[in-house]
Amino acid sequence: MKFVALFALFAATACAAVSVKKSDYGKMPDGQAVTLFTVTNATGTEARIITYGGVLVSLKTPDRKGALGDVVLGHDSLADYMADGGTYFGALIGRYANRIGKAQFVLDGKTYKLPVNNGPNSLHGGNKGFDKRNWSGKEVPGGVELSLLSKDGDEGYPGNLKVVVTYTLTEDNRLRVHYTATTDKPTVVNMSNHSYWNLKGDGDGTSNILGQLLTINADKYSPVDAGLIPLGEPQPVAGTPFDFRKATTPGARINQANEQLKLGKGYDHNWVLNRTGTGLELAAKVEETTSGRILEVYTDQPAVQFYTGNFLDGSVKGKGGKPALQRSALCLETQHSPDSPNKPTYPSTVLRPGSTYDTTTEFRFSAK
């Protein structure tokens, strides 16, 4: 008992300086209220998260001089988030982040059909994925806990899925995203966060990321077909423009005459991470040398989708009403590989009753 009380005191003290404020963000056309949580630590790092889509709407982090800059793309209002045709700016993605081939999968001998919303495939959980749901939100020490119930048959997926995602900010500038889910029928789950990073602090989407230094901790990536479904087994990155084992800018090779880069309209591929254990390990690192900002992505997930904002063409307005331009940000979506439910040799994404889907990704910020 004493130990528990001491631990609680320690936990409360550790988070004491991280403040959480709640405010109204607007109302959906059906009257649902959307809440904004503003989470701030002593260095001034500030994360703003809304219940609609669990979107990280802004994240201000210090540069090497301590000046804060917003490092994520987004919109100015709830109406703009709701009208967005498909950027998934900052949102929580589920049930299945990325693509499922031919929009179907077989589980325990039964075929499940999903919404076809990306060529012949199903992308990011269907037409009304978790990014388009208004989550229940409550303050927790250091952050916000979001929860939702995805009902049996939601977007074609079996089982009532109870999902809880917690965003917490630490004093040492780590934004932690912790996902859990349980089900009452076998199903598949693969969640992610779809933030578009630009460490220069240009959350308004006006500068590009081609010159930022990127490292991806992976010896292998998954070549894809024209619909961006992996062809088969992951292949070595060695000798290809997909080798980011040493810090390299995306711009260095993005325009090379390479079949895979053409199919993706740039980088929009999945890297299978080099892993040694089961805990948080480095997936990727980005360094922006003018501001000095550094982002390190740590995860317990097996893969990461690296995407260079190829579909941003200026038609979607971002922050300040400015057009979000192609390559104005990069996404590092930690996850299981696309189409895993149809790829028996890939790590399984099946969740069964009695088990808990439990995964953590940390975005660690610093400056030098």
Q: Rule CB under 6 A: is residue 86 a binding residue for ligand GLA?
A: yes
One of 107, 281, 289, 311 touching ligand GLA (CB under 6 A): 311
| Known active-site residue 296 | no
Q: Which stretch binds ligand GLA (CB under 6 A): 38-46, 156-164, 180-188, 304-312?
A: 304-312
Q: Rule CB under 6 A: is residue 328 a binding residue for ligand GLA?
A: no
Q: How many CB atoms lie within 10 A of CB 243?
A: 16
Q: Rule CB under 6 A: is residue 307 a binding residue for ligand GLA?
A: yes
One of 52, 88, 267, 298 touching ligand GLA (CB under 6 A): 88
Q: Rule CB under 6 A: is residue 122 a binding residue for ligand GLA?
A: no
Shortest distance (Å) from residue 143 CB to ligand GLA: 25
Q: 95 preceded by cis ω (within 30°)?
A: yes
CA–chain centroid gap for 215, Å, is 17
Residue 23 has, within 13 A of its CA and on its CB side, a CA count of: 6
| Known active-site residue 194 | yes
Beta bridge partners of 235: 221
Shortest distance (Å) from residue 305 CB to ligand GLA: 5
Is the Cβ of residue 20 or residue 303 nearer to ligand GLA in the bound state?
303
Shortest distance (Å) from residue 28 CB to ligand GLA: 22
Asked if residues 175 and 334 have their Cβ atoms less than 8 Å apart, the reply is no
Residue type, 142: G
What's the chain's length in residues?
368
Residue type, 9: L
Q: Rule CB under 6 A: is residue 329 a binding residue for ligand GLA?
A: no
Asked if residues 99 and 118 have their Cβ atoms less than 8 Å apart, the reply is yes
Per-residue binding letters, 251-280, with ligand GLA (x by CB under 6 A): -----------------x------------
Contacts with ligand GLA: how many residues (CB under 6 A)?
12
Q: Rule CB under 6 A: is residue 204 a binding residue for ligand GLA?
A: no
- Return the H-helix or E-strand segment holding 70: strand 68-70
Q: How many CB atoms lie within 10 A of CB 170?
A: 17
Measure the CA–CA gap between 292 and 245, rounded to whole angstroms.
Answer: 20
Is the Cβ of residue 86 or residue 321 nearer to ligand GLA in the bound state?
86
- Residues belonging to the active site: 194, 333
